[in-house]
Structure 1
Amino acid sequence: MPELWLPGATRLDIGDHAPTDGGPAKAIAHITWDDNGTAANPLPLAPYEDLVGYFGRNPDGKKVAPHILWDPFVGRFTQFVPADSRSKSLADAAGGTRTNRAGSVVIQVETLFFPYCRWNGTTYARLVDTPCEGWGALNAWIRAWGVPDTWPMGRPTSFTSNRSESVWRSRAGWYAHAHVPENDHTDPGSWPAFADAPYEPFPGAAFFTTGRRSPIIAAMHQRLVAVGCDRYRTHTDLDVWGSGDVASYRAWQQKLGYTGADADGHPGPTSWTRLQVPHT
């Protein structure tokens, strides 16, 4: 299992842990938007410590705390709940679509930023204009929890809303706050590009057909053996998809807790991401 707490983050556990519902793994991108600057009147960036105190110690702040507070200017992180707990940064109406719990994980990131903030004498109109320090480590940690490097509703490029309940229910990946049902916020406005992945991205379900030959399959074979899911009768033709791959991948799915039709031996994006097949 990946680390419950982001390595290198300051841990400020606020308690009140609760499980998620299961389903497609998600990450939610927010900005703190604690002030309103303009091009004509930029405002100083809020102190990081103020946001830590709000989410970590203020009773009202705890009610809307994310998993992670990220300072993209210097790469600081504070984490308030473990990755496998729900956090509370999304509106979630009683009896409606689940938001904070709608996935195997729903990791929420609040980024210390608002448009036209001023830091060290420079004004930043968009999050992507900041140094984005620490993004690579954050991206890698969330990826390890099975959240694929994809935006099912599109990578945010402006402060506009675009919501689909059916996509939200069915697709793993990154969502802007502006994409989440029952929510009316339009942040984050922009978000950094995904960091270079050290692992093979999911090649798609259609890739895994009998007789397919690829170095990706050989790398997968080696990973399945390494994680204790070796159900191969032979270790020849490592790069050819066959019955041994199906049996071994089924063992991996079962190790992750999948059952029934969800453990059929055919890779899906979440189990594949968590297998961490090296680039070939």
Structure 2
Amino acid sequence: MPDLWLPGAERHPLGDTAPTDTQFQPKVVWHITWDKNATAAKPADLVPFDALVRYFTGAGRASAPHLLWDPFTGRIAQFYPANSRSKSVADAPGGTRTNRAGRVLLQVETLFFPYCRVNGKSYATVRDTPAKGLDKVLTWARSWGVPDDWPMGKPTWKANRSDRVWASRGGHYAHGQVPENSHNDPGPMPDWPAIGGKPKPTPTAPPFPGKAAFGPGKVNDSILRLGHQLVKKGFGTHYKVGPSRSWGEADRLNVRAFQRAQNWSGSDADGYPGPETWRRLFA
């Protein structure tokens, strides 16, 4: 069995453990603590790590995560074991129990707010930080079966939520991608390092062939590539046999299902891939 407690993390067990809903795929949810509101013109000093430990073991225990991670020093504190839910996302009545929807649902609060200042330097996003200790968190998550994927795409400052994707796919999620929640953190995140700390190559999407490659009467390799990727991402339910080089209504319906999973509507979810559909599909 993988470690219930991340090796090397400081342990601050809160005690009020509860099981997760293990019929769902394993997940990690990423947050930032966002303790201050700063700007590029007026950065502010980062809040001390120990102050957040005191908060999550005291007045803030009702919203405590599994882990508190400092990307500047690599320091990590843990409040719940991996097989327990934690409490860092809102959980409205009905729907999935958002704090429990996974064989594990590991929640990580990153000690960060936009334009925090550390050793005289300001940092706009978590992606800009040294990300020390990230490899330890990811290795632990992988040991619990969490895939490296971002099922709803890499985080931005814009919220993007899909109940269907959340309920059906394991991987990493931003707080801004969790149903029933209203926050849009953590913002852009670093690329994942491979096990052992070596950089993980960033997959490159094939060039978008242009909108003219898709539609009734079109026959080409790009349609086949699109179909295979839709199946890989779990959006191939309308194929009766499988993808082919010829465009058909099943292709359009599968693309539309993927677009709707991005919370798009109207002309943005018409079933015909554009550059952003292509980029997200191959991310």
TM-score w.r.t. the length of structure 1 is 0.69
- Alignment-mate amino acid for residue 5 of structure 1: W
Other-structure match for 1:143: 142
Aligned partners of 2:16, 2:91: CA distance in 1, in Å? 17
TM superposition shift of 1:96: 3.1
Letter in 2 for 1:40: A
* In structure 2, distance between residues paired with 1:39 and 1:141: 34
CA distance in structure 2 between the partners assigned to 1:47 and 1:177 by the alignment: 22
| Distance (whole Å) between structure 2 residues aligned to residue 95 and residue 142 of structure 1 | 27
Q: Cα distance, 1:145 vs. partner?
A: 0.5
Match of 2:19 in 1: 19
C-alpha distance in 1 between matches for 2:51 and 2:145: 31
Poorly superposed stretches of 4+, deviation over 6 Å:
none
Q: What is the match of residue 81 of structure 1? A: 80
CA contact (8 A) 2:115 2:123 kept: yes
CA contact (8 A) 1:25 1:104 kept: yes
1:67 match: 66
- 8 Å contact from structure 2 (residues 147, 171) kept in 1: yes
- Cα distance, 1:115 vs. partner? 0.3
**Cα distance, 1:197 vs. partner?**
3.6
State the shift of 1:123 in Å.
0.4
Residue identity matched to 1:47:
P
Which residue pairs with 1:50 in the alignment? 51
Q: In the alignment, what sits opposite 1:247? A: none
Post-superposition Cα deviations, 1:44-90, rounded to whole Å, max 9, x if no partner, equal 0011111000002x1x3110000000000000000001000000000
What's 1:228 paired with? none
Match of 2:186 in 1: 188
Alpha-carbon RMSD across the aligned residues, in angstroms, is 1.5
Partner of 2:3: 3
Output the amino acid matched with 2:47.
Answer: A
Aligned partners of 1:98, 1:18: CA distance in 2, in Å?
12
Partners in 1 of 2:102 and 2:165 — Cα distance?
A: 13
Query: 1:142 & 1:84 partners in 2: Cα distance?
Result: 12
Map 1:1-280 to 2 at 5 A: 1-22=1-22, 23-56=24-57, 58=58, 60-156=59-155, 158-197=156-195
Q: Deviations over 1:155-175 (max 9, x none)?
A: 11x211000000000000000
**Matched residue of 1:146: which SS?**
coil
- Equivalent pairs: percent with the same residue? 59
- Which stretches in structure 1 are left out of the alignment for 5+ residues? 199-203, 208-280
C-alpha distance in 2 between matches for 1:45 and 1:67: 21
Amino acid at match of 2:53: V
The AA in structure 2 aligned to 1:138 is: V
Q: Distance in 2 between matches of 1:55 and 1:67?
A: 10
For 1:34, the aligned partner's letter is D
Match of 1:107, SS? strand
Aligned equivalents of 1:95 and 1:130: distance in 2?
A: 37
Q: Which amino acid aligns with 1:7?
A: P
Please state whether the residue corresponding to 2:167 is helix, strand or coil.
helix
C-alpha distance after superposition, 1:215-240 (max 9, x if no partner): xxxxxxxxxxxxxxxxxxxxxxxxxx
Query: Separation in 1 of the partners of 2:168 and 2:43?
Result: 40
TM-score scaled by length of structure 2: 0.68
Distance in structure 2 (CA, Å) of the matches to 1:174 and 1:103: 11
Q: How many residues align?
A: 198
1:97–1:182 contact (8 Å) kept in structure 2: no
State the SS of the aligned residue for 1:142: helix
Structure 1 residue 105, shift from structure 2 partner: 0.3
CA distance in 2, matches of 1:160, 1:15: 35
